[in-house]
Structure 1
Amino acid sequence: MPYNKGPDRLGAAWAVDMQAHLPERRLAEATRLMAWARDRKTGAPRYILELDENHRGAHCDCECVSCGGALIAVNAARETYLRRPHFRHAAGTEKHLCLVLAARAALLATLESTGYLDLPSHRRTARITGLSGSFYDAWVDAPSERVHIASCSFSDEAAAIVTLDDGRELHVVLVGSHASGTDGAQHAAIEVLVDDVALAGMSPEELRHRTRLLVSRAQWCGHWQDNVLLDSAMNQARARAADAFDLVDGETGLPDAATPQEIRETLLHRKAKEILEREKRLMVPQMSVTERSQQWPQEATTRKCRDAQALELQSVALEQRMGRIIPDVTAVTVVRRWGVGAAARSVDPSPPPGLLHGRVVHLTVGSTPRALRMTDRLGLQIQPVDATH
């Protein structure tokens, strides 16, 4: 009660200590307790409730899995207690890193008794660069899988080798954060993210449940089917590029100095020839002539010379020189009767009766990958953009 400097009055001062709500404080403390340690003699993980009355306090013979410091077993082997049993450092409060590594050690200690794990799905991707410079991506997924644990061995405080009941081995690595690009391990391995210090204070039963959950969200570093998945993804990417006529498949017959654009153009022409050779039919467009009179230039007169018609092909050749031009595709048609089939370059007005005419049709293929795919599906409706007769 300090003295008030007023003339004749004494003043009283009161201070109220605002402490955190007791249940909330105890809950916060419970999440930072260490229930797992390492046996100083054997190196095996020890759970606090496994200790007997002869291993209380400093006689627990346990050490920290992180710093190796001596630990004290608080309230070990007691039936009643105000604060739950736990390990603490002899020197003082546990460090955050010690709690994290104790959590990982606890997780590994209960891994074998978990019985089974739900492994996540695994994806491998592949990319092909086409002649046009476009990218073609594909991916293949290995589905998620439930596996049963036969045995477990520990390589260090944060890694274990799990042997499955079918003989396969899986390396389980506990990490604080996932590294980018973890594919390419020489063996099947997963990274399990363990950064919750509350795990260090969980019971074995709680840890088994949490282990299954964490493993189901793990990240693969290597998979048993990696090569198979990658080959399948690569084949799919190549198929997509080939479907767009943007991939060299075999010999092109072009000189080594040919540009990717020239190679791709040749591939497009070969595809057009392949379709025509297979179908042996071709739909050519209508031929018409438009004339304008000098007296009425605004009015145009269109005269149709020939209807659109389907031609039956006898042979198809690719880029053969004919005079001073080299058509992309040259097709020879079969005419069953006069007036039906292809129009020849020079039409004989009076052909001999019964004579079968082989007409030559020069095709300048204004083709695109999409156009060729559509014509390939339409069968009879194979129609070049431009046809000269």
Structure 2
Amino acid sequence: MAQGSSIWQVETDTAPARPAPNAAVVPLKWAHDARTGEPRYIHDPEVVEEGAECQCPACDLSLTPVLAGQPLRRNPTAHFRHPKGAQKDDCTLVAARLAAIRPLQERGFIDLPRRRMSASATGFSGQGYEGWAETGEERISIVSAVLNDHATALLTLPDGRELIVDLTGQRDAGSDGRGRAIVTLSLSDPAIAMMSPDEIRARLRLLPDIHWCAHWNDQALHAAASAQARQTAHDAMDAWGEAAEALFHRGLPLDLDPSVAQQWRRETLLHSEVKAILEQASQITTPGLYVEVTRYAPDEFGGEWEDNTLRAQWGTSSETLPLENTQLEQRQGSIVPDVICTLREPRPYIYGFTETWLDGAFEELIEDTHSSQQWPRTVLIEVTVTHGIDQEKLRRIRELNLPTLEIDIGSLGGRVTREGLRHLVVNETIGKRWIHHPTWQLLRQILDAELDQHPVTVRFQERLAELRRPRLLATPASEWGLIYLAAATEFHDTNTRIDKARRANRGEGPAPVLLGKDSEPWLRLIEAAEALAAHGYPGAADPEMVGVAGIVSRLLSIQHNRGIGYAFDTGYQVLNAITQSGPGYQQWHTLYTMAVKAYGLEARFTSKQAERYASWRQGIIDKVDAGDETHLRPAHYDAVLGILFPDMAPRLAKGYGRSLQLQ
């Protein structure tokens, strides 16, 4: 046996095509040593010196060495000869395979290719994910190599492991059930049976790839590939672990359809992921705020000026809000929002811009140069996947009156990684919308007021006033004054009761809604104010007159000795609230002292109340006498107040406390 080590290696190059020899005429140059079982080449010393008993590796018949110069032919090719008449169907092919393992017996090596296995996992969405695991290429030592049967060789490694080498190149993948590794390669060329050892070594380097049928580590490789596939699905937020699955099953109906359960898994996972991202975020980018008010031509001019449509839009750019603290699913009023965020100081101010459009044509854009609107301290976030926010929850959110942002994960579409989702949730505005913001109501009022001053609106109102003027003038101003006060009293009293009910509301049902500008009492009030203006007494519909804590509700409270527009029982309690008014309201204080005198409210004061009132009244007198403009009222409401409150008219006519500056 040769002493030099050799390498048994199968490379990827394909041997040049050549005609396949006929196995029946190929000289047989390889045989088994009957005593040792080792492969014998026809020119081995043991064969030449007749020290080996050779037999066919396929049919086990004794073989006779025929060497050059021996009888039968003048220069015959050296070969092994079967007994005369022997059947030799597979002998040459098996001998070729026997010859191929000869290099492995020479204390050689075998270069094994990498073993790569795949596994798949299916996500909640139905999407498939693949994982791979592999061992690298490896050169392993061979302790022994024997022909196991006509088609395979058995290789033993130094650590005792065994490797089956299938020599047909046709074996299917799979284990033999005994834990042995199996590779396959094609060594079915009968011509190998007539090659020398050196020729075989050269030939083996040109054979096709060796392929794995089974590997010692297949079970571990498959487990690693499966774990990678599951992790890929998990990273794509399309799967979760066993603990999450167990938690999901706790509240699952027993008769739930599996397809629905799978959809719920997907929604629950995405919902949880977004909340976890927000819980760790130090900021969040939010979309701009947007308010629009549209004013159409009055019905009276539907056919004449139907094209005069006004539209005012107020909006802001996107805003990145700094977060100080984030809580998940904590009760806030009547709802349990997904996320409650507390903004970090200093909180940003809300700056926007207003666009005005007439009949679809842009008119002007005005940017806010000053803002007193700071972002509220608390912001709510609702995370949705396939089901949006229903009307009942939206109603409760509006009652709570906190900024509420919806993040609709279902609208993002496609597959996204966990890091990609974090970027979308924290840094982008895609899939986000404000479903409520406290500033909207104020901005709608501002836009309404601006549209009221627009030339188109003014022109409409002038035309309407002309049309209604004859009817309004047919009723005396004094009667319109009574209609006005009755409507104002009904409007303010009703809203006071509603506000009290709203404060007491603790149930799950909707809270009562305050009367608005579309309510019947308010419309009667506005009509009466228009009639008074037609009679020459303008201003009755101004916010200073009929707004919250306006002049009219305060004078009515003093007149009737009870709160009108106030949740108070007496006129003095309302008067006490008036004494605490800020600087912007102090210019009207002389009106209230006149009303106290005109309606005899002092007679209902206790001694302490009378003392406090006298001190407050004296302070007003001192300010008026000193000409302090903060306590001098504009004159433009005196005339209409004289009609509404006739008992005050003589005092109003004297002009006490009236500013001399032109209004």
Q: Find 1:331's aligned residue among 319, 334, 340.
A: 340
Q: How far apart in 1 are the matches of 2:423 and 2:93?
A: 61
Equivalent in the alignment of 1:169 = 161
Equivalent in the alignment of 1:179 = 171
282 and 126 in structure 1: CA distance in 2 versus 1, 3 angstrom threshold = same
Q: How far is the alpha carbon of 1:266 from its aligned partner?
A: 0.7
For 1:316-342, what per-residue CA distance to the aligned partner results, in whole angstroms no more than 9, with x for missing partners? 32597975x775x33323263576389
Q: How far apart in 2 are the matches of 1:233 and 1:54?
A: 56
Is the CA contact 2:288–2:316 (under 8 Å) kept in the aligned structure 1? yes
Q: Is structure 2 residue 275 aligned with structure 1 residue 273? A: yes
Q: How far apart in 1 are the matches of 2:42 and 2:34?
A: 14
Q: Is structure 2 residue 182 aligned with structure 1 residue 189? A: yes
Equivalent in the alignment of 2:93 = 100
Q: How far apart in 2 are the matches of 1:62 and 1:307?
A: 94
Equivalent in the alignment of 2:326 = 315
Q: Is structure 2 residue 420 aligned with structure 1 residue 374? A: yes
Q: Find 1:89's aligned residue among 72, 82, 88.
A: 82
Equivalent in the alignment of 1:52 = 48
Q: How far is the alpha carbon of 1:99 from its aligned partner?
A: 1.4
286 and 68 in structure 1: CA distance in 2 versus 1, 3 angstrom threshold = same
Q: How far apart in 2 are the matches of 1:371 and 1:304?
A: 36
350 and 146 in structure 1: CA distance in 2 versus 1, 3 angstrom threshold = closer
Q: Is structure 2 residue 229 aligned with structure 1 residue 219? A: no
Q: Find 1:304's aligned residue among 309, 314, 330.
A: 314
47 and 338 in structure 1: CA distance in 2 versus 1, 3 angstrom threshold = closer
34 and 174 in structure 1: CA distance in 2 versus 1, 3 angstrom threshold = farther
Q: Is structure 2 residue 406 aligned with structure 1 residue 364? A: yes
For 1:192-227, what per-residue CA distance to the aligned partner results, in whole angstroms no more than 9, with x for missing partners? 32211111111122223444555x822223334434
Equivalent in the alignment of 2:385 = none
Question: What pairs with 1:241-280 in structure 2 (closer than 5 Å)?
Answer: 241-249=233-241, 250-252=243-245, 253-254=247-248, 255-257=251-253, 259-280=261-282
156 and 76 in structure 1: CA distance in 2 versus 1, 3 angstrom threshold = farther
Q: Find 1:132's aligned residue among 125, 131, 155.
A: 125
Q: Tell me which amino acid in the other structure corresponds to 1:376.
A: R
Q: Tell me which amino acid in the other structure corresponds to 2:27.
A: L
For 1:238-295, what per-residue CA distance to the aligned partner results, in whole angstroms no more than 9, with x for missing partners? 2210111111222253324460110111100111111111113211101223455546
Q: How far apart in 2 are the matches of 1:291 and 1:334?
A: 30
Between Structure 1 and Structure 2, the one with more strand by share is 1
Q: Find 2:225's aligned residue among 219, 223, 233.
A: 233
Q: How far is the alpha carbon of 1:133 from its aligned partner?
A: 1.9
Q: How far apart in 2 are the matches of 1:124 and 1:225?
A: 10
Is the CA contact 1:119–1:145 (under 8 Å) kept in the aligned structure 2? yes
TM-score after normalising by structure 1: 0.73
TM-score after normalising by structure 2: 0.46
Q: How far is the alpha carbon of 1:376 from its aligned partner?
A: 1.8
Q: How far is the alpha carbon of 1:119 from its aligned partner?
A: 1.3
Q: Is structure 2 residue 29 aligned with structure 1 residue 35? A: yes
Q: Tell me which amino acid in the other structure corresponds to 1:221.
A: C
Q: Tell me which amino acid in the other structure corresponds to 1:332.
A: C
Is the CA contact 1:330–1:363 (under 8 Å) kept in the aligned structure 2? no
Q: Tell me which amino acid in the other structure corresponds to 2:315.
A: C
Greater Cα shift, 147-156 or 123-132: 147-156
246 and 380 in structure 1: CA distance in 2 versus 1, 3 angstrom threshold = closer
Q: Is structure 2 residue 150 aligned with structure 1 residue 141? A: no
Equivalent in the alignment of 2:606 = none
Q: How far is the alpha carbon of 1:33 from its aligned partner?
A: 2.0
The unaligned stretches of length 5 or more in structure 2 are 1-17, 297-304, 352-370, 382-403, 437-663
Q: Is structure 2 residue 67 aligned with structure 1 residue 75? A: yes
Q: How far apart in 2 are the matches of 1:298 and 1:135?
A: 58
Equivalent in the alignment of 2:395 = none
Which structure has more RCO (C-alpha within 8 Å, separation ≥ 6)?
1
Q: How far is the alpha carbon of 1:159 from its aligned partner?
A: 2.0
Q: Tell me which amino acid in the other structure corresponds to 2:406.
A: T
Q: How far is the alpha carbon of 1:61 from its aligned partner?
A: 4.9
Q: How far apart in 2 are the matches of 1:298 and 1:234?
A: 68
Q: Secondary structure at the match of 2:185?
A: strand
Is the CA contact 1:49–1:77 (under 8 Å) kept in the aligned structure 2? no
Q: Tell me which amino acid in the other structure corresponds to 2:349.
A: V
Q: How far is the alpha carbon of 1:309 from its aligned partner?
A: 0.8
Q: How far apart in 1 are the matches of 2:417 and 2:182?
A: 46
Greater Cα shift, 265-274 or 62-71: 62-71
Q: How far apart in 2 are the matches of 1:113 and 1:77?
A: 30
Q: Is structure 2 residue 120 aligned with structure 1 residue 120? A: no
Is the CA contact 2:28–2:80 (under 8 Å) kept in the aligned structure 1? yes
Q: Percent of aligned pairs with the same residue?
A: 28
The unaligned stretches of length 5 or more in structure 1 are 1-23, 343-348
Is the CA contact 2:23–2:93 (under 8 Å) kept in the aligned structure 1? no
Is the CA contact 2:183–2:211 (under 8 Å) kept in the aligned structure 1? yes
Equivalent in the alignment of 2:103 = 110
Q: Tell me which amino acid in the other structure corresponds to 1:198.
A: A
Q: Tell me which amino acid in the other structure corresponds to 1:381.
A: N
Q: How far apart in 2 are the matches of 1:372 and 1:175?
A: 48
Q: How far apart in 1 are the matches of 2:331 and 2:75?
A: 97
Is the CA contact 2:116–2:135 (under 8 Å) kept in the aligned structure 1? yes
Q: Secondary structure at the match of 1:271?
A: helix
Q: Tell me which amino acid in the other structure corresponds to 1:364.
A: E
Q: How far is the alpha carbon of 1:129 from its aligned partner?
A: 1.5
Q: How far apart in 2 are the matches of 1:81 and 1:302?
A: 116
Q: How far is the alpha carbon of 1:231 from its aligned partner?
A: 3.3
Q: How far is the alpha carbon of 1:363 from its aligned partner?
A: 4.0
